[in-house]
Amino acid sequence: MKRKVAARTGDGRICLVEQEIPALRAGTVLVEVHASLVSPGTELGGWRGLAEARKAGNSDAEPKPFGYSNAGVVQEIGEGADEFKAGDRVACVGAGYAQHANYAVVPHNLCVRLPENVTFAQGAFAMLSATALHAVRRGQPELGEYVAVVGLGLLGQLAAQFHRLACNYVIGWDMIAFRNEIARRCGIHATVTIGSEDPVALTKQFTGGFGLDAAVLAFGGDGNSAVKSLMQCMKVSPDTHTMGRVVVVGNPSFDWPLRAGSNAEFRQAGRTGPGYHDDAWEVGPPYPPVFMRWTTRTNLELCMRLIAEGRLNVDALTTHTIPLADVEAGIDAIIGRPDEILGVVFTM
């Protein structure tokens, strides 16, 4: 049986390819996919990067299927995946598994049931919401802290919402005013448009002169200017040491060490939680929950619950919905306006 999968060509085009549905094996489930979410930074090099690839025109490269977050209906289960049954609505994650395809075979620990009032399009936010949640956990937030989220793409938007749910006061930084507008619509307390506003002055004003307790870096590329500005906004101890925690969840590059006397902590967060990429766990038994409370799967379950309760707003992050059958024309229609694109959902 064949399936259709979205693939990126070498010249920045998105097309459909046909391939065999992966074999169902022990610990996996076969899902008929109804919706998937594009993660533009990781999958496409960003919308601007995709547009630049079209200008370069390397059309000789083979189309490469992509995607790692979708939602649909279970069709069949493999041995050991009996917590699911045919007809269950599920959200699925995993590179090489939860692709932009009409059918997917996914390890059972990378799948969670969708609450009744969560749509497939909302469920497709599973991967990025769990990644953002894990990044916020890595920063060990305390209630009432001042936090800056630098980069308000999908990951930054979700991280900002999680910090707000943790009773923190959040200021977002981005170069694109449209993204800042969406963040404010989602309840973020303040934003700064880099390039037309001074992030240091506005952030110091936001914290009442106290300084930031924490920050999240959720962007890619050269981060030296952003990190330099951020360090000027962190809280400072009486002996003049810069303090606070910075979680890097995007892929920025910046010089290290930043300066002598800094006691700011930098922590990386590059997954959805423990378990992801552990092949034995993905298709096997869960970690003992009493010792490992928050895994990829329990993070996913919490994200779906927060969406169901209306506490995590992913609808406001979806700017475009494109049928998978029309993926090439649909992307062609929007790629010329990259600053107006945020969440792109493919429907099957």
Q: Residue 36: is its pLDDT beyond 80?
A: yes
Give the C-alpha separation, 295 to 281, whole Å.
10
Protein fold of 140-268:
Rossmann fold (3.40.50)
Percent over 90 (pLDDT), the chain: 87
pLDDT of residue 59: 65
Return the closest-CA partner of residue 249 out of 228, 213, 273.
Answer: 273
Give the C-alpha separation, 197 to 299, whole Å.
36
- Partners of 190 in the β-ladder: 171
Q: Residue 310: is its pLDDT beyond 90?
A: yes
The three-state (H, E, C) secondary structure of 53-66, written as one string: HHHHCCCCCCCEEC
**Cα dihedral 146, 150, 151, 153 sign:** negative
Give the C-alpha separation, 168 to 34, whole Å.
35
Residues 6+ apart with CB under 8 A from 218: 132, 135, 149, 150, 151, 152, 153, 155, 156, 159, 249, 250
Q: What is the DSSP letter of 342?
A: -
Helix (H) / strand (E) element for 230: namely helix 224-231
Return the closest-CA partner of residue 84 out of 100, 108, 107, 106.
Answer: 108
Count of H helices and E strands in the chain? 11, 18
- Contact, 146 vs 160, CB < 8 A? no
Q: Domain residue spans in the chain?
A: 2-128+273-347, 140-268
- Contact, 312 vs 306, CB < 8 A? yes
Give the C-alpha separation, 282 to 344, whole Å.
27
Protein fold of 2-128+273-347:
Quinone Oxidoreductase; Chain A, domain 1 (3.90.180)
E strands, 187-293, are 190-193, 214-217, 220-222, 245-248, 251-253, 265-268
**Coil, strand, or helix at residue 58?**
coil
Residues 6+ apart with CB under 8 A from 189: 164, 169, 170, 171, 206
Q: Residue 60: is its pLDDT beyond 90?
A: no
The three-state (H, E, C) secondary structure of 140-177, written as one string: CCCCCCEEEEECCCHHHHHHHHHHHHCCCEEEEEECCH
Record the pTM. Answer: 0.96
Q: Residue 322: is its pLDDT beyond 70?
A: yes
User: pLDDT (tens digit, 9 = 90+) per residue, 110-149?
Assistant: 999 999 999 999 999 999 999 999 999 999 999 999 999 9
pLDDT of residue 276: 97
Report, as an integer, the average pLDDT of 188-202: 98
Q: Residue 163: is its pLDDT beyond 70?
A: yes
**Coil, strand, or helix at residue 186?**
coil
pLDDT of residue 259: 64
Give the C-alpha separation, 36 to 345, whole Å.
6
Q: Residue 57: is its pLDDT beyond 90?
A: no
Do β-strands 318-323 and 69-77 pair in parallel, antiparallel, or remain unpaired? unpaired
Give the C-alpha separation, 301 to 39, whole Å.
20
Neighbour count for residue 70 (Cβ, 10 Å): 32
User: pLDDT (tens digit, 9 = 90+) per residue, 209-263?
Assistant: 999 999 999 999 999 999 999 999 999 999 999 999 999 998 899 987 666 668 8
pLDDT of residue 50: 86
Q: Residue 306: is its pLDDT beyond 80?
A: yes
Give the C-alpha separation, 279 to 96, whole Å.
13
> Which residue has 């936090």 as its token pair?
147
pLDDT of residue 44: 86
User: pLDDT (tens digit, 9 = 90+) per residue, 279-296?
Assistant: 999 999 999 999 999 999
